[in-house]
Structure 1
Amino acid sequence: YKKIILENIISILENDIPLENKGSGMENLIKTQIALDKSNSKLDVIMIEEPENHLCYTNLQQMLSTINSYSKDSQLIITTHNSMIASRLDLRNILWIETNTNQTSKLDNIDEETAQFFIKLDNNNLLHLLLSKKAILVEGPTEYLLLPYFYKKIYKRTLAQDGITLITCGGISYKRYFDITKNTNIKIAVITDNDEKDTNLSYMKEHNSQSISQKIFMDNDLKNFTWEVALYNCNEQNPDLEKCAGKIDPTADYKFNKVIYGKNGENKPILGKMLNNKVDVAYKILQYEADLQVPKYVKEAFKWINE
């Protein structure tokens, strides 16, 4: 007798289109829905392997919404390499295995406020951080663009070659990243702005005196209140910086945070242009391979992360 496999002759249709012709992502969505529906039949455990596979961002959000709606009906065990899945399903549920030691770690000790912060934060590099040995956290895109360039300029090696992960976390949210790594062995250097506030310098000094594996680095001079100002002040006479800033309009105010940096104000039009065109100037520094001096606090962060 010829063996007949039902899967080969029966197909599920959606809007008259066979499931197998809907694409792997849609197939995953439907199969997940079917599996979770079975939880109404009192299944004790449902296991889902890497639900992010073949899904675009919108469908991944739909998948997470479906999983969350059923999470109380059965025990769900999900494996993933996706930071959004890990954070949206609550960091306090995470277990991960250290590949070098095979030891299991978890984040069930973080507070609810931090867990809720990452649930709402779509764009995060949480798993990159948790799976790192050493990491540098920065505020924004300009630091993210230029730090690898400056690091290689100093050490003649890349961040990746030295096992360092670079993560942009935005503003002071690095404190949230501190919360989730405080009981791990991950070495973290934060490169951030002092924002012209004594309180930020005081916080840095207090934190650094109490922490061994997490350090904050910012310029000690309040005049260097942000990345571009610190970079400008140690390269003010460097023709490469002027080249990267591009053509200066002598009639422009180049106003930033109510300060006029044009010739009718601070008379630092290059700095004014840098502050108003941060990413563009950073890109040109990379494009021209500008030979710039690296701010002291950045070099201190590099040195510490390598110790």
Structure 2
Amino acid sequence: MHIKKLIVYNFKSFYGKFEISLDEGINIIVGDNEQGKSTILEAINLCLTGFVGGRYFKAELSEHLFNVDIVNEYLSSLNTDNKKEPPSFLLELYLDDDSIPEFMGDDNSLKSGNVGLYYKVQFDERYKLEYENLVKHGEINSLPIEYYEVVRSSFARNYLTNRQVPLKSALIDSSEFRYRNGSDVYVNRIIKDLLDEKELVEISQAHRGMKDEFKNHDAIKRINEKISKSSRVTKKNVTISTDLNTQSAWESSLSAYVDSVPFSLIGKGEQCLIKTNLALSHSKTIESNLLLLEEPENHLSYSKLNVLLDGIIRGSKDRQVILCTHSSYVANKLSLKNLILLANKKTVRLSDLSEDTYDFFKKVAGYDTLRLVLCDKAILVEGDSDELIVQKAYSDVKGRLPINDSIDVISVGVSFLRWLEIAEKINKEVCVVTDSDGDLSALKKKYKKYLDDPKKYSNIKICFDEIIDKGSLIVSGKPFNYNTLEPKILKANGLQVMNQVFETNYQDEDDLRKFMKNSKTECALKIFNTSHKINIPEYILKAINDE
């Protein structure tokens, strides 16, 4: 069983309707800040558990859980003749399992037969008369939460408790840690779910035995006798003991330990690993088959992150995993095939990339692919020196660095076509700045579809110098390549200017060419930091001025 679709109405950052389709296995949600990634995880977990922020939702109900624009529209209308009804928010989960008829029905926003459940917070009509009196006297300045009710139901109109929900979730947020008596609430819950009914009874009985032993200890008897004699509060007997008034009292008093250290005191990275692996190793697979992860890369070293990701990959064979991340490494490692881009409250998938491209980024996971996904525009270059020169050129032309305009200059090695494949799918504006290496026919063949059909690929621009330069210089027994970035910059500026920039005194251009070839990054840094006027090759300016 897995969630195939989530529909949200007016919850937190989502105004009106938002819909996201989810796959079985791994789902990777990426997006800029404040796009609603965390809210998606929170909505799913709330619908399934009735908890928000680790607390029971009914105790946390606040107008801030409603979309702020919806609330403001409602409050503004109260001073007009066209008063709006108190707003509500709705969370719907559509499931793929047709074997649970008690969850199949048309009580959903699509009004069609589906399997699923919903969580709705709405105005309680039983308070309508009192509410109307308050509105009449102008006494409502905020959302009247006290008149609201929470409804959780299946699509078959069956009200639900947590026990009846067929899909159990574990939400693990390594950026937040909520402790209860020194132990993480999620760890306690996961451990509890690992146990069967007999084991839960055994723990409860053992815990009750601790109360009896505590109460009958000689020191406690003496202390209680003293308290009773000294008390002036009441004529009744006052004593101290342990609290076992509820069946689940042991949950709030037990603490998890790791190598004899309380869970709350171990490293946060280790906490994330333990919680994730506990959830993935859950014995009740049928009941606990959804793992929600918020930025799993937080607090983890490179090696520990790899351990975690390998565990997620193995565990996703039996469970659905939905995670949010800002890490390209996480996205690449778990496969871009599973990536969902969230932008402007809409979703875009990196579907239909070639299997070779998926596999490439999965195996060479260090490429910062999310920089391309999340920027407004990208300029792709081959290496570090190219990146520095393009940054310098942009700064000279625009008076600021490209990143200040949400334009990212990204070094991609020789894998331009793989990055362009991604850009095609998400319609990202991209400029490629590349060397011709003296072979225009090979370069034009490589980028043929983009060069031949610029209207179809209007978001992709290929920038290179169409002039082939030649010379007689031989380096290490091979003809020197006059058609790379460094000799093109020398050609645009001349020997005297470049000597001033590099603080060198070469008398011959070929000697300077060899110096620039052997010290690419050093020369690029000198150019980036120089106060001298530098002429930028035209093909680079073409990429910068292509708005």
In structure 2, the residue matched to 1:253 is none
Alignment check: 8 A CA contact 2:351 2:425 kept: no
Q: Which has the higher contact order (CA 8 A, sep 6+)?
A: 2
Alignment check: 8 A CA contact 2:499 2:506 kept: no
Q: 2:325 aligns with which of 37, 56, 80?
A: 80
Alignment check: 8 A CA contact 1:208 1:214 kept: no
Q: How does 1:130-141 map to 2 (within 5 A)?
A: 130-141=373-384
In structure 2, the residue matched to 1:18 is 262
Alignment check: 8 A CA contact 1:201 1:220 kept: no
Q: How does 1:1-307 map to 2 (within 5 A)?
A: 6=251, 9-14=254-259, 16-38=260-282, 41-42=285-286, 43-98=288-343, 100=344, 102-171=345-414, 173-203=415-445, 204=447, 207-210=450-453, 211-223=457-469, 224-239=482-497, 241-247=498-504, 268-304=510-546, 306=547
**Equivalent-residue separation in structure 2 for 1:293 and 1:75 (angstroms):** 55
Alignment check: 8 A CA contact 1:49 1:80 kept: yes
SS where residue 51 of structure 1 aligns?
Answer: coil
After the TM superposition, list the runs of 4 or more consecutive aligned residues in structure 1 that deviate by more than 4 angstroms.
1-9
Alignment RMSD, CA only? 2.2
Alignment check: 8 A CA contact 1:135 1:167 kept: yes
**Equivalent-residue separation in structure 1 for 2:422 and 2:449 (angstroms):** 19
**Equivalent-residue separation in structure 2 for 1:39 and 1:212 (angstroms):** 52
Alpha-carbon distance change, 36 to 236 in structure 1, aligned in 2, over 3 angstroms: same
- 1:269 CA displacement: 1.1
**Equivalent-residue separation in structure 2 for 1:289 and 1:19 (angstroms):** 55
Identify the structure with the greater strand proportion: 2
Alpha-carbon distance change, 34 to 232 in structure 1, aligned in 2, over 3 angstroms: same
**Equivalent-residue separation in structure 2 for 1:56 and 1:7 (angstroms):** 32
Alignment check: 8 A CA contact 2:377 2:407 kept: yes
Q: Tell me the number of residue pairs that the alignment of Structure 1 and Structure 2 aligns.
A: 285
Moved more, 279-288 or 110-119: 279-288
**Equivalent-residue separation in structure 2 for 1:37 and 1:187 (angstroms):** 43
| TM-score calculated relative to the size of structure 2 | 0.49
- 1:296 CA displacement: 0.7
| TM-score calculated relative to the size of structure 1 | 0.85
SS where residue 441 of structure 2 aligns?
Answer: helix
Moved more, 17-26 or 289-298: 17-26
- 1:295 CA displacement: 0.5
**Equivalent-residue separation in structure 2 for 1:106 and 1:179 (angstroms):** 13
Q: Deviations over 1:190-240 (max 9, x none)?
A: 10111222333423465223121111111112324211111111112442x
Alignment check: 8 A CA contact 1:12 1:18 kept: yes
- 1:126 CA displacement: 1.2
- 1:247 CA displacement: 3.7
Alpha-carbon distance change, 40 to 65 in structure 1, aligned in 2, over 3 angstroms: farther
Instruction: In structure 2, list runs of 5 or more residues that go unmatched.
Output: 1-240, 244-248, 470-481
**Equivalent-residue separation in structure 2 for 1:39 and 1:166 (angstroms):** 47
Alpha-carbon distance change, 51 to 85 in structure 1, aligned in 2, over 3 angstroms: same
Q: Deviations over 1:68-110 (max 9, x none)?
A: 1212111111111111111111111111211x3x111101211
In structure 2, the residue matched to 1:254 is none
SS where residue 236 of structure 1 aligns?
Answer: helix
Q: Deviations over 1:256-305 (max 9, x none)?
A: xxxxxxx6xxx52112111100111111223333321000100111122x
Letter in 1 for 2:363: K
**Equivalent-residue separation in structure 2 for 1:8 and 1:148 (angstroms):** 57
Q: Deviations over 1:29-73 (max 9, x none)?
A: 111111111165332321111111111222111111111121211
Moved more, 201-210 or 182-191: 201-210
Moved more, 151-160 or 111-120: 151-160
- 1:245 CA displacement: 3.1
**Equivalent-residue separation in structure 2 for 1:82 and 1:184 (angstroms):** 18
Letter in 1 for 2:501: C
Moved more, 151-160 or 272-281: 151-160
Alpha-carbon distance change, 22 to 205 in structure 1, aligned in 2, over 3 angstroms: same
Among all aligned residue pairs of Structure 1 and Structure 2, give the percentage whose two residues are the same amino acid.
29
